[in-house]
Amino acid sequence: MKILVAVKRVVDYNVKVRVKSDHSGIDIANVKMSMNPFDEIAIEEAVRLKEAGVASEIVVVSAGPTPCQETLRTALAIGADKAILVETDIELQPLAVAKLLKAICDQEQAQLILLGKQAIDDDSNQTGQMLASLMDIPQGTFASKVLVENGKVNVTREVDGGLETIALTLPAVITTDLRLNEPRYVTLPNIMKAKKKPLEIVKPEELGVDIAPRLKTLRVDEPPKRAAGIMVANVAELVEKLKNEAKVI
């Protein structure tokens, strides 16, 4: 079985982002970039399925500017076999990414498609579901457990209030949640090996996909700041404040 994994290059999760002074967006010049953490979980899951003998090949795909190659190399170092970059400098929104991924999926004929449940930059939480929809295949979002057997995949999902398990006919799209697995550390020998693995580059035009943005960002602002609070000396003072000043208890 072939698995396709989609990964996104995002501002590293440890970076405290800053809004540009002209309010046109986030300042990402000279900021550390990394693989979206949820996508790292998706790659890890694919590699575990391969190690377990369920999967035979893992293709990793990213879409965006040239430096996304680094993100793909990281995925190859974790254990993917082959990488594809859909290269473009145009701002990509989830619908456009889903269409690009569909074009790649049509070529690759993967049985299982894994993606992170959301990217930590735009927090959209859309691409996996959109891809499943465009391909007319079922989806298992927010997965905390994945079990492939008999041409089906059972997905345990993190839902409001607990967990839910569904069974999907293959091919299917799965989006990964935090507790699905803990991604391995990439070792130096694997980084070296990853450099020799194939990385193919295609352009959106070659895939015949219209990637024009549908949402226009008019401005980006800092969130409203909370007024500075106070430190209380002890529990008695805290209770007094909550009762008489905040009046919440």
Partner 1 sequence: MSALVIAEHNNLFLNAATLHTITAAVQCGGDVDVLIAGNAADAVATEASKIVGVHKVIHIDASDLGDQLAEPLAAQILAIANQYSHILAPATASGKNVMPRVAAKLDVAQISDITKIVSSDTFERPIYAGNAIATVQSIDPIKVITVRTTSFDPVRVSGGSAEITKLAPVSSPGKSDFISRDLNQSERPELAGAKIIVSGGRGLGSGEAYQELVLPLADKLGAALGASRAAVDAGYVPNDYQVGQTGKIVAPDLYIAIGISGAIQHLAGMKGSKVIVAINKDPDAPIFSVADYGLVADLFTAVPELTKAIT
The residues in 131-170 that bind partner 1, with binding defined as CB under 8 A, are: 131-134, 136-142, 144, 154, 157-169
Residue for token digits 């456009």?
96
Question: How are beta strands 139-149 and 172-176 bridged, if at all?
Answer: parallel
Q: Can you name the residues that pair with 57 across neighbouring β-strands?
A: 2
HSE at residue 153, side-chain half, CA atoms within 13 A, is: 27
Q: Is 62 in the site for partner 1 (CB under 8 A)?
A: no
Token reading at 218: 């008019």
- Tell which residue, 122, 121, 123, 102, has the closest CA to residue 113: 102
Which position among 95, 100, 113, 211 is part of the footprint of partner 1 (CB under 8 A)?
95
- Tell which residue, 121, 131, 167, 149, has the closest CA to residue 52: 149
Say if residues 61 and 4 touch (Cβ distance below 8 Å). yes
Question: How are beta strands 152-159 and 139-149 bridged, if at all?
Answer: antiparallel
CB nearer to partner 1: give 49 or 173.
Answer: 173
Which parts of 96-135 interact with partner 1 (CB under 8 A)? 98, 117-118, 120-134
Stretch near partner 1 under the rule CB under 8 A, chosen from 1-9, 53-61, 66-74, 212-220: 212-220
How many residues bind partner 1, per CB under 8 A? 79
Say if residues 36 and 117 touch (Cβ distance below 8 Å). no
CB nearer to partner 1: give 129 or 190.
Answer: 129
Which parts of 218-247 interact with partner 1 (CB under 8 A)? 218-223, 226-227, 229-232, 234-236, 238-239, 241-242, 246
Which parts of 1-60 interact with partner 1 (CB under 8 A)? 11, 13, 16-17, 19, 26
Q: Is 184 in the site for partner 1 (CB under 8 A)?
A: no
Q: For the CB of residue 214, give the shortest distance to partner 1 in the complex, in Å.
A: 4
Residues, the chain, total?
A: 249
Say if residues 171 and 132 touch (Cβ distance below 8 Å). no
| CB neighbour list of residue 245: distance below 8 Å, 6 or more residues apart | none
Q: Is 192 in the site for partner 1 (CB under 8 A)?
A: no
Calculate Rg over the CA atoms of the chain: 21
CB nearer to partner 1: give 52 or 249.
Answer: 249
Q: Is 89 in the site for partner 1 (CB under 8 A)?
A: no
Q: Is 208 in the site for partner 1 (CB under 8 A)?
A: no
Which parts of 68-87 interact with partner 1 (CB under 8 A)? none
Stretch near partner 1 under the rule CB under 8 A, chosen from 50-58, 69-77, 82-90, 217-225: 217-225
